[in-house]
Structure 1
Amino acid sequence: MSFILGLTGSIATGKSTVSNIFKQAGVPVVDADVGAREVVKPGTEGLKRIEAAFGRDVISASGSLDRKALGKIVFQNKSELKKLNHILGDLIAIWIQSEKEKYIHQGAPLIVLDIPLLFESGYDQDVEKVMVVATTPSIQLERLMRRDQIDTQSAQQKIDAQQSITEKIMKADFVIDNNGSKENTQKQVLYWLEKQDVYK
């Protein structure tokens, strides 16, 4: 029986870092961001839906999704972001389920579902436990500005478009403190793996 762990966080809190630590430890990870890219490739139903909802301006000359143009629309308007998530939600869910089933059939003792909108999209109902990767709001803002090379206002807009990290911490079964070094974060994840005894 596979143990399904939901992994989430907020933008720039370090979820990808933790996801990579699991991968390096040999744990299969189903990454919703990969699924989100897969379902909007040229010629897919997902890309057709986006074009119908947001117009031709979000499609590049090569026929692929112009992520920057779409990002400008959805991060400045919560209702537009909600619309995008609604448009692609079922397609991403099918992809996640398919990947999860593949690893279950392979007999993986632990499977991590790496999903940014885990709580918002109800995936917390599909996992045994939820791990949240957290930082303080000030570190989150600073890292996002540095990562995306954007100003304070733009960074705060992106953060405000999501459920706050404080709310997610309250709903978590496990919290990984990512305020410090990558080495410190890695120690916490590996300790969790050892303590849970699900990957032995």
Structure 2
Amino acid sequence: MRIIGLTGGIASGKSTVARIFEQLGAVVIDADQLSREAVMPGRPAYDAIVAEFGPTVLCADGTIDRKALGCVVFADAAARSRLEKITHPAIRQLAEEKLAELREVPVPLVIYMAPLLIEAGAASRVDEIWVVFVDRETQITRLMARDGITREEALLRVGAQMPMEEKRTYGKAVIDNSGTREETELQVRRLWEREVAMEK
């Protein structure tokens, strides 16, 4: 089973690219979805987050308020580090369980989509890395529009991650998502033909 790590910065368009790969026949594991599962009430990571950050990061229904928690950790590198020490091992365990299930099927190609693939030290989980790239200004503009936040908040969130120019150097393939959806889809389809379809 070939596992491709799909990564990129916040608001770079990883989900858009992953959906195209899914339409072409890949199985996609979304680390963001795993991170939501990992912090559900009753899970060890949930208890650890509440113990570390207190009840102010909870919604009225008792689930983790990701927006409130984000406000805390994006403004404080030490708090972000404490959160990552809780969540990264929990996400890793879920990812390994999903990959083990897929190996039983078996599935020829898996896209493991993770924004912090490199930063979390998870690159060893995949066979190669493909990076979804956008220039910094496009990234900030899209993040502001997507999350309804100010430029200052967007700059904090972008600044908390590895710069896109650095991240792209890790990619065996780089998909430039700075243009239109159609331009991105054309790149993805060409990459699929070259890297996946040709190997069948």
Coarse TM-score class (shorter-chain normalised): over 0.9
Q: What secondary structure does 1:185 align onto?
A: helix
Question: Which residue of the partner structure matches residue 85 of structure 2?
Answer: 86
Pairing 1:28-47 to 2, within 5 Å after superposition: 28-47=27-46
User: 2:64: which partner in 1?
Assistant: 65
Q: Which runs of 5+ in 2 are unaligned?
A: none
Deviation string, structure 1 residues 151-182 (Cα, Å, up to 9, x no partner): 11111000001111111011111100001111
Alignment partners' CA distance in 1, 2:114 and 2:47: 23
Paired residue for 2:13?
14
Offset, 1:197: 3.2
1:180 lines up with 2:179 in the alignment: yes
Q: Name the residue aligned to 2:170.
A: 171
Provide the C-alpha distance between the structure 2 equivalents of 1:154 and 1:83, rounded to a whole number of angstroms.
20
Q: What 5-or-longer segments of structure 1 have no aligned partner?
A: none
Counterparts of 1:146 and 1:23, CA distance in 2: 25
Q: How does 1:1-200 map to 2 (within 5 A)?
A: 2-197=1-196, 200=200
- Secondary structure of the 2:84 match is helix
Residue identity in the other structure for 2:152: Q
The list of structure 1 runs, each at least 4 consecutive aligned residues, that deviate by more than 3 angstroms after superposition, is 197-200
Aligned Cα root-mean-square deviation (Å): 1.2
Paired with 1:61 and 1:177, the residues of 2 have a C-alpha distance of 40
Distance 2:29 2:94 in 1: 9
**Number of residues of Structure 1 aligned to a counterpart in Structure 2:** 199
**Could you report, residue by residue, the CA deviation over 1:93-133 in whole angstroms, capped at 9, with x for unpaired residues?**
01011111211221211111101100011121221110000
For residue 80 of structure 1, report the CA deviation from its aligned partner: 1.1
- Three-state SS of the structure 1 residue aligned to 2:59 is coil
Taking structure 1 as the reference length, the TM-score comes to 0.95
**Percent of pairs identical after alignment?**
38
Structure 1 residue identity aligned to 2:159: D
